[in-house]
Amino acid sequence: MKFKIYSIIAAGTLGLTLASCKKDFLDKSPISQVTPDVAFADAAAAEKLIQGAYDGMYNDFHIMDFMTNGDVISDNCYAGGDNPNNAQLDKFTVTPTNSNVSRDWAALYKDIKNCNLITDNVPNIKDDKLDLNNRRTQIIAEARILRAYMYFHLVRLWGSVPLVLKTPSTAEEFQPAKASVDAIYAQIIADLEYGAANARVSGPNKGIVTKGIANALLAKVYATKSNPDWSKVQQYADATINGGYSLLGNYDFLWDSNHKNNTEAIWEMQYDGWGGPLGHGNWMPSQLFGAGWKKFNTPTNDLVALFNSEGDAVRKASSIFTDGIGWDDDYWKDNATYPHIHKYRADDKTDTYLIRLADIILLKAEALNEQSSGGWAQAKTLVDQIRNRVNLSGTPAADQASMRLAIEKERRLELAFEGHRWYDLLRTNRAITVMNAQKDGNGASLNYNVTPAKLLFPIPQSELDRNPNVR
C-alpha cells in the first residue's frame, strides 16, 4: 500500500476544553511527522516511529483522563469543578455523546495506529544498523507492549471493541467489527509475552517500556480477565519484583518531584512542562492553576474518612491537602475547608506513575490469598510491608475472606488518585456493591443506582455514526 502521509502525534494539538471557559489550553504543533520518503527507509526512521508512539501518549487520556476514569468513577473522587462530562462519569449517567468518552476512544486508537505502523513496517526495513544489538526486535517489542496497554484500557472501559492490528487498507478494514473480550485479552497477552521476551531490561528513563513493564502488565492482565489465573499473576508479579525494583523508604518521596525515575517506579510518564524542551506538560487538578481555579477530581468523604479511621496519617498527608477553596462543592459545602489531591504538586512538570512496585506487591498478595485458603498468611507479609513503610501496624486480617478485603483497602489507600481504584472494583466484581453503598458527608445515600449496564462506557456516538459495525 502507498501511504499519503502519517502523522505520529508527539505533543500534538491538544485541546483541553472545559465547559465553563470554552478555551483551548494547549495549541502545540506536531513535532514528529512521517512522510512516505522517510517513513520506512532506515534505522533512523524506525527510531522516529517508536519515538512518535511514545510522544503520542502525551494526550488528554494519559495526562488527565486516566485519573477521571480510575478515581472519579470510583469511590475515591467526586467530579468536582464544573465540567458536565466529568459529572456524568461521576454519577453514572454517561451518554454516547459524552466528550470524555469520545476523546478517550480516539486517543487510544490513535496510539494503537502509531504502534501498528511500527509492527507493519519495521520488520521490513532494509538497514543492517537496525539489527545491531537486536534493536529491530526491541522496537517491535516496545510497540507491542504499548499496543497491549492501550487495548487493556479499551477492554476494561468498553468491553468488546474492534481489534485493529494493522494499518487499514480497504473500506472494510476502516469499519472493523467488534472482537470478543476473550479475543482481545488473548491478543494483549500475546503482545505482552513477546514484549517480556524481547524488550530491553532498562531504558534511558522509566518512560521507556521494558521487560519489567511487560511482566507487570501481564500480572495485572491475568488478574483482570473474566477468569483470573492467579498462578500466572504470581508468576509475573514475581518476575517484576525480582527485576531490580525496590520500595522507596519515604512514601512522600514518590510525590515531591525530587525523586523522578526512582527505584519504585516501573513505568513513569516523563514531564518537563509545556514550555520545556520536549513540551511534555502535565495537567493535574490539584494545584497547577493555583487557588483561583475550580478543583476537579475532589476526594470523597468516604476516602477521607477511611484515611482517618485507619490512622493513615502519612499517606493522607501525601495524598490530600485542604484549603478554603470549595467553589460551592456539592459534597463539601458545609465545611470551612475542602480536600484536594496532593500527589501532583510540582505544576506541569510532575511525573505520573502508570505502574509502580507497591501496586505489584499488593497484586502478588492478592494472588497468594486467592490460590489457597491458607494463602492469607503469606499475603499478610506483603501487605504489612506496604503498611510498615507508612508507620502502620500489620493488618489484623486472619483468614482468606478478611484478607481479601484488607488487600482491597490497602490498594485503595496506597494507590489513591493514580487511576487504579475503578478497575480494582470491576475486576473483583465489587463495583456495584461498593458504589451503591456510597453516602455523602451527612450519611445520606448518593443514589448512584449502578447496574451491570452502567459498568462500561457506551460506544461514542461519533464512532457509531462512522462505523455501523460497532453497534
> Per residue in 200-228, pLDDT tens?
999 999 999 999 999 999 999 999 999 99
Residue 176 maps to a domain = yes
Q: Judge residue 414's burial from the number of C-beta atoms within 10 Å of its C-beta, 0-12 exposed, 13-18 middle, 19 or more buried.
A: buried
Residue 258 maps to a domain = yes
| Residue 384 clears pLDDT 70, i.e. is over it | yes
What's the whole-number mean pLDDT along residues 32-43?
Answer: 63
pLDDT at 291: 54
333 — pLDDT class (breaks 50, 70, 90): confident
233 — pLDDT class (breaks 50, 70, 90): very high
**Per-residue pLDDT reduced to its tens digit, 107-152:** 999 999 999 999 999 999 999 999 999 999 999 999 999 999 999 9
Residue 17 maps to a domain = yes
pLDDT at 232: 98
pLDDT at 156: 98
Q: 208: closest CA among 14, 9, 8, 50? A: 50
What's the whole-number mean pLDDT along residues 28-35?
Answer: 40
pLDDT at 36: 45
Q: Tell me, what amino acid is at 99?
A: S
Note down the domain range covering 404.
6-470
Q: What is the CATH number of the domain that holds 398?
A: 1.25.40.390
329 — pLDDT class (breaks 50, 70, 90): confident
Phi, psi of 370 (to 5 degrees): -80, -20
**Per-residue pLDDT reduced to its tens digit, 90-112:** 999 999 999 999 999 999 999 99
Report residue 126 as a C-alpha cell: 532494509
Low-confidence winner among 253-257, 276-280, 410-414, 436-440 (lowest mean pLDDT): 276-280
pLDDT at 334: 74
Domain count, the chain: 1
Residue 281 maps to a domain = yes
Residue 1 maps to a domain = no
Residue pair 116/180 in contact by the 8 Å Cβ criterion: no
| Residue 21 clears pLDDT 60, i.e. is over it | no
| CA–CA gap between residue 140 and residue 148 (Å, rounded) | 12
380 — pLDDT class (breaks 50, 70, 90): very high
pTM listed for this prediction: 0.92
pLDDT at 328: 65
Three-class DSSP category at 75: coil
Alpha helices by DSSP H, listed for 205-267, are 211-224, 230-241
Residue 205 maps to a domain = yes
Q: 352: closest CA among 25, 59, 62, 50? A: 62
Report residue 429 as a C-alpha cell: 466484581
What's the whole-number mean pLDDT along residues 50-63?
Answer: 95
**Which DSSP string do the residues of 85-125 spell out, in sequence order?**
HHHHHHHT---TT-HHHHHHHHHHHHHHHHHHHHHHHGGG-
